[in-house]
Amino acid sequence: MTVMLEAHNLQKRFLLKPGLLARMAGKPAQAVHAVNDVSLQVRQGEVLGVVGESGCGKSTLGRMLAGLLPQTGGEIAWQGQRAEIASAAYHRAVQMVFQNPYASLNPRLRIGQAITEGAVYHGLIERSRAAAAAGELLQQVGLDRGYAERYPHEFSGGQRQRVAIARALALRPRLLICDEAVSALDVSVQAQIINLFMQLRREHALTYVFISHNLAVVEHMSDRVVIMYLGRIVESGPAREVFAAPNHPYTRALLADAPRLGASPPAHQPIRGELPSPLAPPSGCAFHPRCPHANARCKTQVPLLRDIGGRLSACHLNH
């Protein structure tokens, strides 16, 4: 399968400036290590799921892949060539669907204009037929053409997310990056939006990077999955294999917490402790303060992603 998008050793650090009193005391700015040395591939036509707790860096990773955030280090390649992520061509090919559709829509624009303004700017839709194109796009996502004259506040959350998807489709993208695109919706509406994503995948030959903390949704949608913890990938591979037999202790703990239909109440202990601060990540394996299998080596050496038979895992227990 052709590799569409590839990330090599991506890093993203944010400088946290100290307050006035801290500056007067001579304290320097601190660096938040949001994404740390992440490498991955997105293959044409697949759904790559990205999973992890809040604060693990998955949304920051998605924004870098979409060209909305510049990386501190590393490279992004598009179809085998180094990507110019600030270019118009890249932004047309890679579109993003955000978690909060209301915040991502201009409240002063009618929906029809919001959907087509980007495509008109890029010359993909002639201004004279923008209204007709908006109606066609609304129909593609299951909404009435007449909704084009309404404003964002007149829609429900699920309808707004359909509008956001229609706006992304207007640019004729090849890759959609969905950042928690269903997490703010009711369960019944989530199912409708997931089905819409899968329908559009078939109709438009789309590729997805699907970012979520909802393991059930990722398992249902994804061909491959990436598990992130504190800015690093700890396990990746075919979704079916990872969910059936997780290797990394963090992946096993996440799946043990996930509810499943027909399953008896879990007898496991939840992941102990809290996610460490990215301002001061632990030495060695970042998961070692919470891992029941941690040893002295885990506290000093960062485990590398290694092949464990068709997938990758970063754990010293594999060596």
- Average pLDDT value for residue range 43-48: 96
Please give the helix or strand (H or E) that residue 84 lies within, else none.
none
The 3-state DSSP class for residue 10 equals: strand
Residues 150, 55: Cα–Cα separation, whole Å: 36
Helix axes of 157-169 and 187-204: crossing angle, nearest 10 degrees: 10
CA dihedral for 137, 141, 145, 148, sign (positive or negative): negative
Tokens of 177: 């990056």
Q: What are 113-126's pLDDT values in tens digits?
A: 999 999 999 999 99
Q: What are 270-283's pLDDT values in tens digits?
A: 677 777 888 888 99
Tokens of 144: 């009435």
Please tell me the predicted confidence (pLDDT) of residue 19. 76
| Residue 86 pLDDT exceeds 70 | yes
Q: Where are the beta strands (DSSP E) in 44-183?
A: 47-51, 73-78, 81-82, 94-97, 175-179
Please tell me the predicted confidence (pLDDT) of residue 309. 87
Tokens of 227: 């598990």
Residue of 22 and 99 predicted with greater confidence: 99
Mean pLDDT of the residues in the chain? 90
Q: What are 6-24's pLDDT values in tens digits?
A: 999 999 999 887 777 767 7
Domain 3-108+151-318: CATH class, spelled out: alpha beta
Please tell me the predicted confidence (pLDDT) of residue 159. 94
